[in-house]
Structure 1
Amino acid sequence: MEVFITGAPLPPSAPSFGISLPQNSEPAPKPIDTPTPNKKMRTMTWSKIPAYAFKKESIWNEILNMKDSIDIDYKKVEEMFSQKDVAKSQNKNASNVEVTLLGEKKSMKLNIFLKQFKKTNDVIIKQIKEGDCKELGVEKLKGLMELLPQQEEIEKIQGYEGEFNRLGQAEKFYYQLIQLPDFKLRIEMMLLIAVFRSQISTIRPDIQVLTSVCRSFMENESFKMFLRFVLHVGNFINKGSRIGEAIGFRIDSLNNLMMTKSNTAKMTLLHFLVEEAQQKNTNSLKFVEDLLEPLQKTSSLDENIRDFTSFHNDVNRLKGQLEDANEEVKTQFSGFIKEAENDITNTEKAIEQVKELCNELAVYYCENEKSFKVDEFIESFKDFCEKVKTSEHDLETWRVNAEKAEQRRKSQAGMSVKRKGGRHGSENESC
């Protein structure tokens, strides 16, 4: 549902944060040119890559310089994703619609998490301000750290000019939280005081899988084709709006494609894009087959690093204790300690390599290098691949059902003709 923001602005006490945008010395290219729709269109929600974040070595530079591998049927897009006339009557009640500024998945996660507290936002914010880690507890602090707003989300909340009471519960919590000075540092310190050491685990195979997946994100040509298609169609749908003329978008925006409904029952924008790709260039969907299985096997980089640090500390501690042990014990375990130290050295190198690769990935996708989290990037991409698979299954189910319905129609029509023929034959015999 499209939301129209009206009403009184937020209180003047809302902080400005004094955010200054970095200047990019590299001029951003022109977005993909599209015709202007003849009808008012629905909105394709995405987070645009700002011009200052654009980099020549990014995937978006490659995509903007590509030719379309899938022809755009503008008339079909317009028919399917234009706003219906009934929307005019719905706009009368727009002031009652809850405003959601966050992604669907993030908003749902945060709302579920906040319900666990069984307290108002004011009480939670007060406990954070007072550093009450005992009251909040380790697990809730961990959950809160994972759900802290990213810079792009802070800017969205900060840029909202509508009424505070119309914000969703998740957005209201973020709005109150970001007014607390150093809110992230406060929560990090509370968790540091309360948390226990992570369990030891073997991580080298996980790091190898993660390295392979990150390289695939930068090398998969099929995905670049599909991104070009999404960018082109999105700029046509959003033509003339503030989110139009995009030179790229954040990858987590792909999961919003199912939120844009078409004028055809059950069909979303993602269904449309997948169906068009199936009909015009199946190679543009090959990325799902290439990447989904490795993505499902990928584990968290942050968790692996934490486990590795704990393992490293234990080896050093036991090595120190072994130096004071008797000769028999030294002989029995010194070989293991030496092997473990070699493993630690190799794993350290692998971790440093994957960190460098993650930085390259952030640059390649024009993400904020300081706030970029590869775990979130991978999770978002995996969710999208699974949604593409679901869309493919839906389309196949609808096709089979349509064929069966057509067969039933033909069968019924044939039976009707036979019945009519039988009646005419009886009449002739009686004559």
Structure 2
Amino acid sequence: MNIFTVPAVLTVDNSVVDLETIEALYENRATSDELGKITKHYENAKEDEVKLLDKPEQFLYELSQIPDFEGRAHCIIFQAVFLDTISSIRRKVEIVSNVSKELLECDSLREVMGLVLAFGNYMNGGNRTRGQADGFGLEILPKLKDVKSRDNRMNLVDYVVLYYLRNFDKNAGTDRSVFPMPEPQDFFQAGQVKFEDLTKDMRKLKKDLTACEKNVQKVCANSSEENLQPFKEKMAGFVSAAQTEHSAEEESLDLAQRSFQDTVSYFGVKPKSGEKDVAPNLVFMLWYEFCNDFKNAWTRQNKKISKEKLKEAQENIKKITAEKRVETKKINANSLKERLRQKEAGVSSS
């Protein structure tokens, strides 16, 4: 056992002994039966007989000498587990909340959707029913790239992007042009979130936090004054902060679910056959596919416009240069400069 293990466990200091080591020690601690036999041997054996113990038994005995090692180690390990788990939950809740908010509030996204609806109605103009639609289902978004022009050089996504850049984005073709929708990767990450899993994780975390709090109280009650601090102060502070953080994250999760339901209602998405609720995967993966297609087209068309602007600028420069005229002035024959020039010319010829 590392000589730093004892003080590290007593002072809750992972900088001395890393968490993986403490976890390994915790997992390999002696069972009550094993420890009873080893302790009995130490108490009854002579000094030379104690030395005959194998290293594993010596290790387990030394580990048992750390005051309430099991309880302390469990608290230290849970502290790390809590921080990692709550951070993971927070990231997932935030991505769903942010994407849902953008879908409901992003003006540029509404402009793009308006173009999709307008062009769809135009293409269906000969049909009184389909040519005058007030909206469309999200399921058509990934299919827009399959609608091709007659020469097969452009699809509907390309056309929507090009129209948007030329008519809505004054910075099109420059590095100041801003992608008008959430990033495709944001939709992909949001699509992986399962609210039922997050709810289970939150419940388990709360249950384990309650157990940790009881463990801290037990360790403190059984500790001598010498070994009480800083464990009591650090772990009591952690438990209090963790309870506050857990409550805040529960509220954030509830708000994220409500925000998602508002998004579902706004876009009129219905659950899959046999399912009660609409899952984030159903909504956000449709957006992911469309947004990914849109961004690829947006990048291509932006480069195209950039080249057009560069070519136009070069042609303007050529035009300005060609229109320049060299101005000439009539020479005054009686000027001093002209008389000197003629005199020099006469000397040279002679």
Provide the TM-score with structure 2 as the length reference.
0.49
